[in-house]
Amino acid sequence: MCSTRARLMILLAAGLLVSVALPAGAAPGDIIKLGPGGDPQWSPDGKLIALICDGYLQVTPADGKGPRTKLAEYRGQSYVWASDTEIVWSERPDRRSDTTLFKSVMLRRMSDSAAKAESIVSASGPELVMQAADDFAKLERIFGPIRLVDGTVGYLRTRGSLDGPARFAQMRKGTAPSLREKIWPRAFVKTAGEYLPPVWGDLWLGTAFDSSDNGRQLTYGRRLGMVQVSPARDRIIARSLSPNGWIIIDTLGRECNSLFEPLRRTQPEGYIESASNMQWSPDGAHLCFLRTQDDGHVIRDSRLVISDVSQKNVTEILGHEGDDIGSFSWSPRGAAIVVATQSAGVIVVEVEP
């Protein structure tokens, strides 16, 4: 996948050039423009993409063939697809509030088989699902919503940071699998018994979110953070401060391969190249990440890169001068990536040959 590259230069309406690297044989149709917006996320079935635009939560068909639909006014912190027909987000009544409100909107969808298009017929809501409060005495904060691998939606009550120990709370009532079955393993970072952000320390592995003291220590004397567990839950990638870069570790604490470094290239004097926002592909065979060059103040260059875990095949799929690339995510089947950019808006790039 993506071992060879074909260059495609697209002249945007804004007069800016974006260099896009695609797999060999790719065509201009492999890039779909969805218009302005930010924070795009795929529906679980991969047919719709939600995004934030002009203060509204909106939904558009992933193939770009249907109209965009406004769902609700959005003042949220984050959102997730709870199912193919429901989106849940969090917001605070005001900046000083310690309470997080979780709201949802329901979609009624229709598929036009003749036109091969997906559309939204109507949306109902928003409705208040539940609310939760920070506990400053215990240094606990609310993060979420999140959607677990089994589809359960809830939120995390964490100690200081998403990388620290956390307890999971399910939003919906009803019978659910045990936490051990749903979310094992839970990787988190401990350092000297403190969980204040930023959390950089040794990697631990817990059997559930609901206890931070039953973890098994995987590394010793390391400064790690920004942990991401693979979809199969057998490997963990984490940012390392010393040595600098990214490292992949299995659930027994063994390094799967050497330090994962950003793609090297000639750097201007005074600029530092770094990789961030590591995301596993759904099959766990590839990683997508943002590679940037900056001088500590200004980002000179930003590129979206895909690499297999062995780093033998590394491909830039999107790039632009300056801080142009925002959030991105894999499609559920790993065949495409949706990206929010400042110059081109939200675009879908097909990455499977």
According to the model, what pLDDT value does residue 297 have? 72
Tell whether the model's pLDDT for residue 41 goes beyond 90: yes
- State which residues form the domain around 338: 1-31+271-353
**Residue pair 293/300 in contact by the 8 Å Cβ criterion:** yes
Specify if 338 maps to a domain. Answer: yes
Say whether pTM exceeds 0.85.
Answer: no
According to the model, what pLDDT value does residue 252 have? 82
Q: How many domains does the chain have?
A: 1
Mean of per-residue pLDDT scores for the chain: 75
Mean pLDDT, rounded, for 82-101: 88
Reduced 3-state DSSP string for 168-210: EEECCCCCCCCHHHHHCCEEEEEECCECCCCCCEEEEEECCCC
**Dist. CA 260–CA 244, nearest whole Å:** 10
Specify if 49 maps to a domain. Answer: no
The most confident of the ranges 164-173, 202-211, 270-279 is: 270-279
Specify if 171 maps to a domain. Answer: no
Tell whether the model's pLDDT for residue 182 goes beyond 50: no
Specify if 319 maps to a domain. Answer: yes
Specify if 285 maps to a domain. Answer: yes
Tell whether the model's pLDDT for residue 49 goes beyond 90: yes
**Structure tokens that stand for 198 in this block:** 């930023």
Please write the tens of the pLDDT for every residue from 314-348.
Answer: 888 887 666 578 899 999 999 999 999 888 899 99
According to the model, what pLDDT value does residue 177 have? 41
Please write the tens of the pLDDT for every residue from 265-321.
Answer: 555 666 777 788 899 999 999 999 988 877 767 777 788 889 888 777 788 888 766
**Structure tokens that stand for 86 in this block:** 């429901």
Specify if 223 maps to a domain. Answer: no
Specify if 5 maps to a domain. Answer: yes
Tell whether the model's pLDDT for residue 222 goes beyond 90: no
Specify if 228 maps to a domain. Answer: no
According to the model, what pLDDT value does residue 160 have? 62
Q: State the residue for tokens 């940037």.
A: 292
The alpha carbon of residue 39 and the mean position of all alpha carbons in its chain are separated, in whole angstroms, by 9
According to the model, what pLDDT value does residue 288 have? 93
Percentage of residues in the chain with pLDDT exceeding 70?
A: 71
Tell whether the model's pLDDT for residue 146 goes beyond 80: yes
CB count in 10 Å sphere of residue 272 = 12
